[in-house]
Chain A
């Protein structure tokens, strides 16, 4: 009987945790909104199980040592409540690196094997993807961030000379000059566990101002091609030559949830 009460308490705690995440708007910091339905369905099943348990109190139950199960569920509930976005962005770029086009740049310089990278476009028979390239002014927001960057790195020639406006946080890596940095966002495919930092190199050489690492900025500039060294390899990359910038407050939703073509 004791176990039954404990089952009910822990089912209730899980239900409260899911409701807390939903009503505190914290859910979208952990799961891509596309998958919220799964959380609502899980909530429904948990409520159903709790009702089963409540209306079944009279039934005999095997009393067993389930302490480990309850401890582990308690741990996960505590972790859910203590999860937070602060520091996450910085830690993820340190652990997973920063995605710049086809390359991933890590915090510490690593030795790369100098083998030729495979020609991915040929390998996949990939059709050229061009997105918003017909516009002279491209405003990048949460809905088009991934598509524009993806297209920009595949077809930089279509974007040269266009003006681009983008919001994000600043990341830096070894090999970039003092005037260069990356304007980045965290990309979440499914859940926070698979998030990664993705960005575009900026050139701020016309300004006598130090852009604060991890600080949030709105940047406007003209796209040009510059020779940049990434992972000890020099190559032509699209770069935003900044003409205007604003320091902004971090966005309420720091993630970009990519949409594919």
Chain B
């Protein structure tokens, strides 16, 4: 059993390591090179256009779910509104050129799956962002107080941003190291929980969930959450279930699973209060089910 646990934990860590590192590098580059004024100038004033902008940003900003968490933490600190960060958090692991290509390679004969996945990711992240903008305020949901009222004081080089003798490149390095060790704690905790569940709970426990809406969709979302597979590669896993589940169940796996899994929940718990994370997950589960229901009705002609 220990061998299975260690092999699963090691493989998930290796699969996500590059994306975590890229995430912390981008986060540090934003922190050092992009000022709050620039960010404020870049964000459209109209809420709807701003949400559209955030939900499509992943196309030029291809980061998966492990990498996006440090980036949104940095954006929150730079004063980006909560609802835009949430939309970016949910959309970038799906509306993302790398993920679109990997979904295409996995489902080469079924281009409709690629289109529906991107559409689902876009709509759910947009609507969730809209709900968050009306229901939640930044101050109530954020755990790390330094992200609410921007105080200049990143943990690694307090007050040194004005020191012209320290090059910006060095600062990027320092920030990245600091962020990497800080974020990897939650990443690894999530991996250990996932590996434990995967190596102890037999799949037969879930075998009676059935192949129809909504149980199969809920099961596939739960499976995606526990498996914690990177959104860049999860389409290949979904492809292996092609014979057992309806299209909408596979889309639930690929849409919800890209937005949330155990390791990203752990990583988000550093930034947000647990209550907010739970509510956010429930909103996304509900929206994914509604999306699946619509697909079943209009595309497949059955529920």
Q: Which residues of A contact B (CB under 8 A)?
A: 7, 10-11, 21, 27, 29-31, 35, 38-39, 41-42, 45-46, 48-49, 52-53, 55-56, 59-62, 64, 66, 68-70, 72-73, 75-76, 79-80, 82-88, 91-92, 94-97, 101-102, 104, 106-108, 110-113, 115, 117-118, 120, 123-127, 187, 189-194, 196, 260-261
Contacts and interface: CB of A to CB of B under 8 A. Distances in A.
Given A42-B18, A84-B3, A193-B12, A104 B158 contact: no
Main secondary structure of the interface of B (DSSP, over half): helix
Interface of B: 1-15, 17-19, 21-22, 25, 105-106, 108-110, 155-158, 160, 166, 170, 172-174, 176-177, 180-182, 184-185, 188-189, 191-192, 194-195, 198-204, 207-208, 210-212, 227-230, 233-234, 236-237, 239-240, 242-244, 246-247, 300
Contact of B181 (A56, A66, A125): A66
B17 A261 contact: no
A64 B155 CA distance: 9
Contact of B157 (A35, A46, A60, A82): A60
A194 to B, nearest CB: 5
Contacts of A117: 211
A56 B237 CA distance: 43
A68 B184 CA distance: 10
B7 A84 contact: yes
A39 B191 contact: no
Nearest to B183: A69
Nearest to B8: A193
Given A95-B199, A190-B229, A60 B160 contact: yes
Given A115-B210, A127-B109, A59 B3 contact: no
A45 B22 contact: yes
A91 B191 contact: no
B140 to A, nearest CB: 27
Contacts of A125: 110
A187 B202 CA distance: 18
7 contacts: A31-B15, A42-B21, A75-B188, A76-B13, A104-B207, A108-B204, A261-B109
Given A52-B173, A194-B227, A61 B156 contact: yes
Contacts of A21: 14
Contacts of B199: 91, 95
B243 A83 contact: no
Given A72-B189, A193-B194, 8 more contacts: A39-B17, A60-B157, A96-B203, A102-B243, A189-B236, A192-B7, A193-B11, A194-B227
A39 B227 contact: no
